[in-house]
Amino acid sequence: MTRKFILSTLVYSIVTMIHGFTWHFNFFPEVYAQLGIYNREPPVIPLGFASMIIQGIILAYLYPRYYRGGTPVKEGIKFGLIMGFFLFSISTLANAAKIQVSSMSTWLAIQSAFHLIQFVVAGAGIGLVYGKLSKS
């Protein structure tokens, strides 16, 4: 494993952990309670951490294969948005199809904002870690 791979995994995981904790437990706990989507008390935090680390590993692996040149932050954000849209389809749309939520429009709006922030910041971080890669 390279240093950039490990740092990218950590950047994604740390950004996502901080963002997820503050978003779900500090800023919007009442909204999520009203939606009724996250109803496990208490949540199994280690499983959440494991999920974030696995996602970070995959993103750190894929980014160098995606990069085609350009500004690291801009390319990182583009990559982050592509991956974020993919993960949004799993964590938000698929859940909405399977789990009863009290307000579909609120669920989609709050999750869209959450993922947009998460993947812009994490993508920029991954881009910064990798910097300009040679196009071989």
The full DSSP string for 49-90 is: HHHHHHHHHHHHHHHHHH--SS-HHHHHHHHHHHHHHHHHII
> Tokens for 62?
């894929």
Q: pLDDT tens for residues 89-128?
A: 999 999 899 988 899 999 999 999 999 999 999 999 999 9
Q: Which long-range contacts (CB under 8 A, 24 or more apart) does 17-25 make?
A: 17/49, 17/52, 19/114, 19/117, 19/118, 19/121, 20/48, 20/52, 20/118, 23/114, 23/117
> Both tokens of residue 101?
């939520």
- Share the mean pLDDT of the chain: 93
Tokens describing residue 27 = 């800023």
- Nearest Cα neighbor of 57 from 115, 1, 134 is 1
Could you state, in order of their start, the residue ranges of all structural domains in the chain? 3-130
What does the pLDDT average to over 66-84?
Answer: 95
For residue 34, the tally of other CB atoms under 10 A from its CB is 13
Instruction: Average the pLDDT over 8-21 and give the result.
Output: 97
